[in-house]
Amino acid sequence: MRCPRCGNEDPKGFYLGGRGWYCRKCVPFSRVLMTDAPKMWEEESTIPDAEYELGFALTPEQEKAAQEILEKTREGKNVLVKAVCGAGKTELVYPVIREGLSAGKKVGFAISRRQVVLQIAGRLAKDFPRLKVIPVCEGFTEDTQGDLIVCTTHQLYRYTGYFDTLILDEPDAFPFKGNPVLQGIAENASKGTMIYLTATPDEWLTEKIQNHKAEEVPLYKRPSGIPLTVPKVNYLPKEGLALALYGYLRTETKAGRYAMVFFPTIRETETFAGIFRRYYRIAVMHSAREDKDAQVRMFQRHEARFLFSTTVMERGVTFSGIDVLVYKADHPVFDYASLVQMTGRVGRDPKNPEGTGIFLCAKKSGEVDKCVSGIMTANRLAFGAENGLTTRKTS
């Protein structure tokens, strides 16, 4: 037996209920009996005007990547777009969206986190002004049909076999990463091709390349044309970390800079915010905060000089001209992907690309080393040997 929705094949994963067999792995989404006929989707009769309007020109590197993605998708291949943080990966799939929808096909865009769904849906609605762009996520499930569906990976259970091309943004992010049920549901939502977009592919994605189930399209250069910030790693005795943090906050304040400071736990985030709030304006973010939007706005508007946060803010956000510090970067909650993403918050605004990244560590960490060498390799591939080997100097 194989579940048509999540792809589960484990015999222990099925249960015989009063009405027949169903899959236990994806039953939290809704009950699908194995004897149910596959859902039939109506064929779209009207072809929407899927022309897009970008307020800026793509760089030659972006153009080349976008073209490669389009060609591979036309050939029916799955694509892994490996674009460094801030490379502008969303607009790389615009030609695929335009061509697919113009031909009457179904194209979808799925993301792990709800906040990012709303952000991207707003952006796609603006850039594709004649399309009905529908966000589908918690709080937005009344209307689930449109020209272009932008949903959380959780909501894909509604769309088994629906899409001709499904774009999965950041499939290496929580809670999608390492979740076979969500991964199965996502892959079964597309009856055609998949496009995966990420800066930090995990094992699930790299295996697809190794097994020839997807082809890679890399993009190492950001539109700003400036190399990625290579984090400076400071090793200190454990007792010296807090003092180094204090020194950093003071220096940043004197220099008139704004910075995101990442901590491994909610407890440390709150404790240090409590201590330093007496001296500095600090916004605080973690999963347990009720006032998340207000805290982010405070930092965005420069009403706070620092944003203290857990990894909850490691992706998907852009603040102009900031620096980043990771406190205890050697802590096990920070893996390679997380460290690359946090550092990737620096230099995202092409108009204000200066910024520094600092890791405070008490001991050596393989993940930290991998992050530093990974970023240097990306710079080398984008700019040649010289730039990849040195930390970028800030002017």
Residue (36 or 51) nearer to Zn ion, CB: 36
The residues that bridge with 190 in the sheet, in sequence order, are 163
Residue (3 or 148) nearer to Zn ion, CB: 3
Residue (23 or 307) nearer to Zn ion, CB: 23
Tell me the closest approach of the beta carbon of residue 8 to Zn ion, in angstroms: 4
Tell me the closest approach of the beta carbon of residue 23 to Zn ion, in angstroms: 3
Tell me the closest approach of the beta carbon of residue 164 to Zn ion, in angstroms: 22
CB atoms within 10 A of CB 276: 19
Residue (188 or 200) nearer to Zn ion, CB: 188
Tell me the closest approach of the beta carbon of residue 391 to Zn ion, in angstroms: 48
Residue 188 found at the interface with Zn ion (CB under 5 A): no
Check residue 139 and give left, alpha or beta (phi > 0: left; psi -120 to 50: alpha).
Answer: left
Residue 344 and residue 361: Cα distance in Å, rounded? 19
Residue 31 and residue 359: Cα distance in Å, rounded? 47
Q: State the residue for tokens 């943090």.
A: 245
Tell me the closest approach of the beta carbon of residue 111 to Zn ion, in angstroms: 21
Residue (33 or 47) nearer to Zn ion, CB: 33
Q: Which two tokens stand for residue 185?
A: 């549901």
Residue (182 or 199) nearer to Zn ion, CB: 182
DSSP result, 66-81:
HHHHHHHHHTT--EEE
Residue 380 and residue 227: Cα distance in Å, rounded? 9
- CB-CB contact of 71 with 122 (8 Å): no
Q: Write the binding mask 1 to 40 for Zn ion: x where contact by CB under 5 A, - elsewhere.
A: --x-xx-x--------------x-xx--------------
Tell me the closest approach of the beta carbon of residue 184 to Zn ion, in angstroms: 7
CA 161 to chain centre: 24
What is the contact surface with Zn ion in residues (CB under 5 A)? 3, 5-6, 8, 23, 25-26
